[in-house]
Amino acid sequence: MITRIKDIDQVKKLQSIFPVTALLGARQTGKTTLAKQLISQHYFDLENPVDLTALENPAITLGKLKGTIIIDEIQRKPELFPVLRYLIDSNPEQNYVILGSASRELIRQSSETLAGRIGYHYMHGFNIEEVGSENIDKLWLRGGFPRSFLSQNDEASMLWRDNFITTFLERDIPQLGISIPAHTLRRFWIMLSNYNGQIINFSELSRSFGISDTTVRNYIELLEGTFMIRLLRPYFKNIGKRLVKSPKLYFNDTGIFHSLLSLYNTKQLITHNKLGASWEAFSLFNCIRILELGIEEVYFYSTHSGAEIDLFFMKNGKNWGVEIKYQDSPKKTKSLHACITDLELEHLWIIYPGDKDYILDTNISAISIKNIHQIKQRIDEY
């Protein structure tokens, strides 16, 4: 078992501020395991028929409890939100931790009812910092879902992920009240794997799949809202250049991405034409998580003249950039210098799979993926 120290600390911090803390993330990312490590005598799982029955009269059942109360899979009973508002306003001795695996609708419902009373924490799979640099290749291939990463071997990991995908499509999606045939969404999801790390073109996707632009957007919104994919927004300001203004699409978990491409081992991965896209998604989201950045705080930058970087963010009053390369020894380019000028970057790091860190220019460095944590240290020094 790998202890999620940062996640536990963040949840406890939110508990000290808000009467309700929402722990959101895909199924099987460890939300329940983490929640049970909190000091609580009251746990309700809304996938358990007994607990579901107990909460048919929630004001009576919950009203007499004190301390931390955990409610798992709360998206199955959204009518609880008004009750929670009444209970926390009338009973200051209560503190709720609610868990959910459908972000968009759950956030809408909770923020409308519990505005000012709820804090949000997103739970992801394992990252490099948690598993150790010696396990990077294993994490890349299998992804960060705990059961997948901790499987006895690659074959068992792949079997778990294949079953996770099937369960997600055939059970989880219908439970959200969405009536898309499982085989249709699976085919769409597989098609999306060809766009991992690319700027998304909704019209091209609709033509390829034979559905309308609106349906494409709905399917993507569904997969994003259940934490399977993520859209990275472009950064643009008035700098007098033609900029790309469509988002990039990424798979949140490379293990799921590899399963949809039927990549069972590292040998198959490193010879596949989606190797670069897989490495970019893996490096990008490990960087975002280790730097403790929210998805709303990060962007990519791209101009029609060819200047681009994979990650742009602002922290400590300065602008920073990250470029990701699957190369032995990345070099500085005119494109990178153009981005530094356009975005007024304090520093730009190139993340690559090698072992050594080295300086390319006064404000450009190549850094091993094993040392991503050093980027945070450098930024915090400013």
pLDDT tens profile 213-225: 999 999 999 999 8
253 in Cβ contact with 263 (< 8 Å): no
Q: 359 has which bridge partners?
A: 365
DSSP H helices, the chain, are 5-17, 31-35, 49-54, 58-63, 80-90, 103-114, 128-131, 136-142, 146-149, 154-167, 173-175, 182-192, 202-209, 213-225, 254-260, 266-270, 275-290, 334-343, 373-381
Q: How far apart are CA 27 and CA 24, in angstroms?
A: 9
Output the CA torsion sign for 331, 336, 337, 343: negative
What Å distances lie between residue 225 and 23, 163, 258, 297, CA to CA?
14, 20, 21, 18
> Does the pLDDT at position 242 exceed 80?
no
Token code pair at residue 174: 């219908």
Output the CA torsion sign for 122, 226, 233, 129: positive
The CATH class that applies to domain 5-122 reads: alpha beta
Count other Cβ atoms within 10 Å, centred on residue 39. 8
43 in Cβ contact with 36 (< 8 Å): yes
CA dihedral 295, 109, 171, 208 (to 10 degrees): -50
CA dihedral 69, 74, 79, 83 (to 10 degrees): 10
- Half-sphere exposure at residue 379, Cβ-oriented, CA atoms within 13 angstroms: 23
Mean pLDDT computed over 166-194? 90
> Does the pLDDT at position 249 exceed 80?
yes
Residue 135 DSSP code = G
Q: Rounded to two decimals, what is the model's pTM?
A: 0.92
The pLDDT value given to residue 40: 76
The pLDDT value given to residue 67: 92
Sheet holding 67-72, edge to edge: 42-45, 67-72, 94-100, 20-24, 118-122
* Residue located via tokens 């794997």: 193
> Does the pLDDT at position 64 exceed 70?
yes
What spatial distance separates the first Cα and last Cα of the chain, rounded to whole Å? 36
Q: 162 has which bridge partners?
A: none
> Does the pLDDT at position 103 exceed 90?
no
373 in Cβ contact with 290 (< 8 Å): yes
> Does the pLDDT at position 238 exceed 70?
no
Sheet holding 248-251, edge to edge: 198-199, 248-251, 229-232
Count other Cβ atoms within 10 Å, centred on residue 36. 11
pLDDT tens profile 11-47: 999 999 999 999 999 999 999 999 888 877 899 999 8
Residue ranges covered by each domain of the chain: 5-122, 128-381
Q: How far apart are CA 162 and CA 356, in angstroms?
A: 36
What Å distances lie between residue 91 and 98, 120, 180, 368, CA to CA?
17, 21, 42, 51
Q: Report the percent of the chain where pLDDT is more than 70.
A: 98
